[in-house]
Amino acid sequence: MIQVTAPCYLCGKPSVLEGLCADCFNDGHPLIEVSTPLTLLACKKCGSIKLADGWRKIAGDGIHPDDVGDFQIELLLERSIKILGKDVQIALEDERKLDRVTHTVMKVTGRSHESLAPHNEKYDVEIRFRYATCETCGLMSGGYYEAILQVRADGRELTDHEKTALTQTVTDITVARYKSDDKAFITSTIEDKYGIDFYIGSESLCKYLADEFEMQYLAERKDNYKLVGEEKGGKRKYRITILIRLPRFTVGDFVRIDGNPCEIVAMGRNMLTCYDLKRRERFSINPRSARWRTLEFLAARTNRREFMVTTYSYGQPVQIMDAVSFEILEVDQSIFESEIAVGEKIYALQLDDELYILTQHSDFNE
């Protein structure tokens, strides 16, 4: 018995699904649904766009400034397109950009039904740009801040290296947390002879930075809350100021530990690495160790003296010349950690009428 396929009730071709041929079924069952024109509301300052669930940040996605507009369109379309078919893939095939209007052609590939072969569809979409200021940029422009992070040093000024490192850390962490924290921004930075003050939009970010500096620099910390007003409903509003006080010493300075003079060669992550100038050995301590209580500041890095090796013979005392007074001194060859050569520059610390040769491969000695 021959089975006769009923014709498509729209065009007369052999039907394949629900009384329709493949073409007519595809025409009546589009792969996607998208309205046009679409309005794209973007922040002129940071590039964030307003979607149904709020502002979507662009900064922090590693996008080149020239590509922000394309990314904004893709993000808007991603949220505006309703997928109806199966195995749907979408590509922007063509664009015509005017002043505040972009016409884009979307090529869509997929199946209207799992039993049908894939086919292509094209959609012309008009996107109209409008601009406003997002909530985060509005807060920044208004000078908003929830916390102040003050960085000082005990009995000294911050070094230029410390200022640069502190500022870079604040920048890096703020950028990293910006996408997850709407108030992760620095309203202003004030630097004077006493240290640096960071005015921070987010109390959470301020506390995170304080934790990082406290651990990295083995610093002391003091939190202080100040009443600044009341919120709706009568709830009191406080602003926190966190003081981070770096220790008197820094890398390259000299301290006494267990009665021995030591050179600080590294510090950070709750650990201080030193070089014992008497024992000629390295060791590490942390603020919780018993040895930490014996620590006292001796001298700044600037107190070291520069010498040049003038005479060196195996088995003989090494002669070195003071770079300032040109005084010639003799020191035992055994105190050097590695081979030296005539003309080589070295550093030493004069302490209690004794000369201590410093480490020769420390980055801070250069």
Give the pLDDT confidence of 191-245 residue by residue, as tens digits: 988 899 999 999 999 999 999 999 999 999 999 999 888 877 778 888 999 999 9
Instruction: Calculate the average pLDDT of the chain.
Output: 90
Q: Other C-beta atoms within 10 Å of 100: how many?
A: 11
Summarize pLDDT for 267-290 with one digit per residue, the tens.
988 899 999 999 989 999 999 999
pLDDT computed for residue 353 by the predictor: 84
Strands (E), 139-259: 147-153, 186-192, 195-200, 220-230, 236-246, 254-257
Tokens (6 digits) for 66: 């020239």
Confidence (pLDDT) at 148: 97
Checking if the pLDDT of 89 tops 80, the result is yes
Report pLDDT digits (tens) over 288-347: 999 999 999 999 999 999 999 999 888 889 999 999 999 999 998 888 877 888 999 999
Among 142, 134, 267, CA closest to 213 = 267
Confidence of residue 4 (pLDDT cuts 50, 70, 90): low
Residue 3, amino acid: Q
Task: Show the tokens assigned to 206.
Answer: 């301020």
- Single out the residue of 289, 281, 246, 288 nearest to residue 267, CA to CA: 246
pLDDT for residue 231: 78
What whole-number distance in Å separates Cα of residue 220 and Cα of residue 278?
29
Q: Are 186 and 198 in contact (CB under 8 A)?
A: yes
Residue 60 banded pLDDT, cuts 50, 70, 90? low
Kind and range of the H or E run holding 289:
none
> In this predicted structure, what is the pLDDT of residue 234?
77
Tell me, what's the pLDDT at 233? 77
pLDDT band at 261; cut points 50, 70, 90: very high
Residue 149 near residue 242 (C-beta atoms within 8 A): yes
Q: What residues does each domain of the chain span? A: 31-134, 143-246, 254-365
Structure tokens at 69: 């507009």
Contact at 8 Å (CB) between 99 and 45?
A: no
CATH topology of domain 254-365: OB fold (Dihydrolipoamide Acetyltransferase, E2P) (2.40.50)
pTM summary value? 0.76
User: 363 falls in which pLDDT band (50, 70, 90)?
Assistant: very low
pLDDT band at 9 (very low <50, low <70, confident <90, very high): confident
